[in-house]
Amino acid sequence: MLALTSTGTELRRFRRGLLPKLAVGAMIFIPLLYGALYLWAFWDPTGHLDQLPVALVDADQGSTLDGVALHAGTDVATRLLDSGDLDWHLTDAKDAADGVANGTYYFAVTVPAEFSADIASAGGADPTSAQLLVTYNDANSFLASTLGRSAMTQVRDAVAATIGEQGVDQVLVGLGSARDGFAQASDGALTLRAAGGQLADGAQQVADGATSAATGAAALADGSKQLVSGSSALTAGAQKLADGAGALSTGASSAASGAAQVSAGAGRLADGASSAATSSATLAAGAAQVATGVHSATGQVGQLAASLPALQTGLTSIGAYLGAHAAAGDTTAAQLLTGLQSASAALPSTATVAAMSSQLAALDTGAGKVAAGATQLSSGLGTLSTGANDLRSGSAQLAAGTQSVADGAGTLATGAGSLVTGTSQLAQGTTRLATGASELAAGTTTLADGASQVADGTVQLEGGAQTLADGLTTGAAAIPDDTTDVRTQRATTIASPVALESTSVAAAQGFGEGFAPFFIPLALFVGSLITWLLLRPLPSRALATPASGLRATLAGFLPAMVIGIGQVAVMIAVIHFGVGLQMATTAGTIAFTLLIVATFLALQQMLTAVMGPAAGKVAILALLMLQLASSGGTYPVETTPAFFQAIHPLLPMSYAVTGLREVITGGMDARLWGAVAYLGAVLLGSLAITSWRAGRLRTWSLERLHPAISI
């Protein structure tokens, strides 16, 4: 044996005497108690549920279904009793209640009175789920209740499958009828769609007509508004007419009286004209005489005027003789000359005489014209006299005529007053007409809109009816057209639509095998604790020598490891051969279990070395509790509070559980090698820390020499 691997006297001291041997036995067998005993007890709890006394009460009163008596409760009770899943005791309600209360039964199942009725109701008007009543009492055993709930879930599924088939079958029969109804409904929808099309056309026409009516009504409204204004103007005109007719009547009356006066005046004029005609005849005669006289006078004057130039010449010769005498100093000649000169100056000049001649000619002409005019005047006055007589008779007639006009204008005024009244009434009426026409216009517009909407709606109705028809057809097609056999098969499938078919990558045999990966590390951790209670983690004799820390560490570790190997051998053997655990890989399981025990021993040795025997033991126990809760060996760690999830990956038992699951159940993968690596690292790390600590422990302290607390 190498010096390094010497186990020293650590184990040899247990060879002598009964108690030390028992101690070694305890070290080796304690893990067995934890591991194998627990596993044995929990190996297959669900396999012995038929030993679990459970009360069964059938209170079902039965029912009828399609005229056939239905006793579903009895059927269920019979089936449960026959199945033997649990230790059923058919009893009455009181016994069941008492039994559950006092623990005779773990729980009670009651088929209620209305069970069959509820089942029958599945195809009826008020379908109600049938109930199975289960009464638990966790005071009897919580786990029994839990197992019972699990068992009752299976019972429920089984009963539901059978009962469900009957109910679904009835529903399927109804569905067959529904299929026919759907087809009829589809036809009706198609008819509805055709009618909808017609309705759409009619509504469209109504809409068009209403639109035209609206347009006309709008025109009517406008016209009636114009009529209102026209009738108002008419009323005003009639009023003016009445006023004018009145004035005309008055004026005509005045004209009649004036005409009468004219008639009278014309009479007098006729008389005067007659007189004037007579006088003017006289005048004409006188004027003709005047004209004759003037004409004679004019001729004479003309002769006179023609002798004047000879006088002039004579006078000039006298004037030149006298002037020559006067110039010769004859005074009487001068005087005669002066007088002659003044007299010749006073004589009219030839021009004046010419003018006087022309004026006399004009007078002659004028007198002739006066004579002619007087003649014409005389004849005109005769005519005037005649006309005046005519005027007198005509004006008399005018007076009479104007009087008639006056009378007619009065009548017209009266009629025009009536017209005013009538046109006022007309104006009021046309106002109402305009109002009504406006309302009519608005109403017909609304009608047009509504009719358009109706038209649109009926188009949609048509589309909807088509959709309905299509949907009903599709629906009818969707409802299976089953034969009786297919219907039964379908009822079965619908009643249990989902069947579980599970495949396991790695399958645990049962409850016990599932728990083995948890109990084995737990047992080994406790086994290590027991081992270190009896063995010295760091033999003080080794520390007293100059041997290295690692040597001292191995001096403590190796004897413990020998015990650990014994623990593993005994426990695996008993679990395999005694309890019946099958391992996917026996060699792998043993090797991994040895790694676990080595790791736990080294870890606990390290804790004891670092913290001292007393505090180290406390720490080991605390670590044990933490690992129990966080290793995920019982419930998945994800179901535990966050604290345990956080420490789960830190603690070696988590890896021990994971790795053992794989070597026992199979399906080895990277998790196993990860577990091996982690446990190996903890093992070597713990040994290294213990070695370092052992070097320090070669120097004693008074506390260590005389500990205040020793375990």
Partner 1 sequence: MSHVTPTPHLETTDEPQGPPAPQSAVTARELTLHTRRGAVYGPVDLEVAAGSLVVVQGPQGGGRSSLLLTLAGRMVPDRGSVLTVLGESLPRRRRAVQARAAVAGFAGVDDLDESVTVAATVRERLAWLSPWYRRVARVDQRTFAALAQPVFGERPLPRVDSLVWDLDEVDAMLLRLTLAMAQHPDLLVVDDVDQVHDSVRRQTVWSRLEAISATGTTVIASVASFDEVARMRWDHRPEQVMLATGPHAVPAT
Using the rule CB under 8 A, is 14 a contact of partner 1? yes
**Residue 16 or 94 with smaller CB distance to partner 1:** 16
Q: How far is the CB of 44 from partner 1 (least distance, A)?
A: 45
Please select the residue that binds partner 1; options are 497, 625, 701, 709, rule is CB under 8 A: 701
Which part of the chain contacts partner 1 (CB under 8 A), choosing from 77-85, 459-467, 546-554, 564-572?
546-554
Which residue is associated with the tokens 């008074």? 702
- Token pair of 384, please? 């005037």
- The candidate with the shortest Cα–Cα distance to 453, out of 653, 690, 104, 206, is 206
Which part of the chain contacts partner 1 (CB under 8 A), choosing from 275-283, 338-346, 544-552, 586-594?
544-552
Which residue is associated with the tokens 């109002």? 435
Classify residue 129 as exposed, middle or buried by CB count within 10 Å of its CB (0-12, 13-18, 19+). exposed
Q: How far is the CB of 663 from partner 1 (least distance, A)?
A: 33
Which part of the chain contacts partner 1 (CB under 8 A), choosing from 44-52, 157-165, 545-553, 609-617?
545-553
**Residue 23 or 356 with smaller CB distance to partner 1:** 23
- The candidate with the shortest Cα–Cα distance to 555, out of 443, 442, 697, 451, is 697
- Over the window 610 to 639, marking each residue x when it contacts partner 1 by CB under 8 A and - when it does not, the resulting string is ------------------------------
CA distance 89 to 58: 11
CA distance 318 to 265: 73
**Residue 51 or 699 with smaller CB distance to partner 1:** 699
- The candidate with the shortest Cα–Cα distance to 562, out of 2, 12, 161, 124, is 12
Please select the residue that binds partner 1; options are 413, 542, 602, 603, rule is CB under 8 A: 542
Assign 110 to helix, strand or coil.
strand
Q: Which of residues 498-527 bind partner 1 (CB under 8 A)?
A: none
- Token pair of 78, please? 């019979």
Using the rule CB under 8 A, is 21 a contact of partner 1? no
Using the rule CB under 8 A, is 94 a contact of partner 1? no
Question: What is the total count of residues that contact partner 1 (CB under 8 A)?
Answer: 32
Please select the residue that binds partner 1; options are 18, 345, 702, 709, rule is CB under 8 A: 702
Q: Residue count of the chain, please give it.
A: 711
Which part of the chain contacts partner 1 (CB under 8 A), choosing from 9-17, 281-289, 322-330, 460-468?
9-17
CA distance 597 to 664: 17
DSSP string computed for 530-566 = HHHHHS-SS-HHHHHSS--HHHHHHHHHHHHHHHHHH
- Over the window 660 to 699, marking each residue x when it contacts partner 1 by CB under 8 A and - when it does not, the resulting string is --------------------------------------xx
Classify residue 256 as exposed, middle or buried by CB count within 10 Å of its CB (0-12, 13-18, 19+). buried
CA distance 614 to 610: 11
Using the rule CB under 8 A, is 18 a contact of partner 1? no
Please select the residue that binds partner 1; options are 8, 62, 223, 429, rule is CB under 8 A: 8
CA distance 223 to 218: 9
Look up residue 433 and give its DSSP letter: H
342-381: buried (b, 16+ CB within 10 Å) or exposed (e) per residue? eeeeeeeeeeebeeebeebeebbeebbebbebbbebbebb
CA distance 688 to 692: 6
Using the rule CB under 8 A, is 202 a contact of partner 1? no
Please select the residue that binds partner 1; options are 544, 573, 677, 684, rule is CB under 8 A: 544
Is the dihedral angle over the CA atoms 46, 50, 52, 56 positive or is it negative?
Answer: positive
Q: Which of residues 216-255 bind partner 1 (CB under 8 A)?
A: none
Q: How far is the CB of 681 from partner 1 (least distance, A)?
A: 23
CA distance 218 to 447: 13
**Residue 471 or 695 with smaller CB distance to partner 1:** 695
Using the rule CB under 8 A, is 709 a contact of partner 1? no
- The candidate with the shortest Cα–Cα distance to 376, out of 274, 281, 275, 276, is 281
Q: How far is the CB of 604 from partner 1 (least distance, A)?
A: 22
- Over the window 555 to 584, marking each residue x when it contacts partner 1 by CB under 8 A and - when it does not, the resulting string is x-----------------------------
Q: How far is the CB of 694 from partner 1 (least distance, A)?
A: 12
Which part of the chain contacts partner 1 (CB under 8 A), choosing from 314-322, 538-546, 648-656, 685-693?
538-546
Q: How far is the CB of 139 from partner 1 (least distance, A)?
A: 53
**Residue 179 or 551 with smaller CB distance to partner 1:** 551
Beta strands in 81-222 (DSSP E): 87-90, 107-111, 133-136
Q: Decide: 200 and 523 in contact? Cβ < 8 Å.
A: no
Please select the residue that binds partner 1; options are 68, 351, 499, 705, rule is CB under 8 A: 705
Beta strands in 508-640 (DSSP E): none
Assign 645 to helix, strand or coil.
helix
Using the rule CB under 8 A, is 493 a contact of partner 1? no
CA distance 157 to 163: 10
**Residue 18 or 68 with smaller CB distance to partner 1:** 18
Please select the residue that binds partner 1; options are 3, 351, 587, 625, rule is CB under 8 A: 3
**Residue 96 or 543 with smaller CB distance to partner 1:** 543
Assign 136 to helix, strand or coil.
strand
Q: How far is the CB of 548 from partner 1 (least distance, A)?
A: 8
Per-residue 3-state assignment (H helix, E strand, C coil) for 319-383 = HHHHHHHHHCCCHHHHHHHHHHHHHHHHCCCHHHHHHHHHHHHHHHHHHHHHHHHHHHHHHHHHH
Q: How far is the CB of 23 from partner 1 (least distance, A)?
A: 11
- The candidate with the shortest Cα–Cα distance to 218, out of 448, 34, 426, 555, is 448
Please select the residue that binds partner 1; options are 329, 497, 546, 636, rule is CB under 8 A: 546
Using the rule CB under 8 A, is 16 a contact of partner 1? yes
- Structural element, H or E, at residue 54: strand 53-58
Q: How far is the CB of 545 from partner 1 (least distance, A)?
A: 5
Using the rule CB under 8 A, is 711 a contact of partner 1? no
Which part of the chain contacts partner 1 (CB under 8 A), choosing from 104-112, 176-184, 322-330, 702-710?
702-710
Q: How far is the CB of 609 from partner 1 (least distance, A)?
A: 16
Using the rule CB under 8 A, is 25 a contact of partner 1? no
- Token pair of 45, please? 């709890």
Q: What are the residues binding partner 1 (CB under 8 A)?
A: 1-4, 6, 8-10, 12-17, 20, 540-547, 551, 555, 698-703, 705
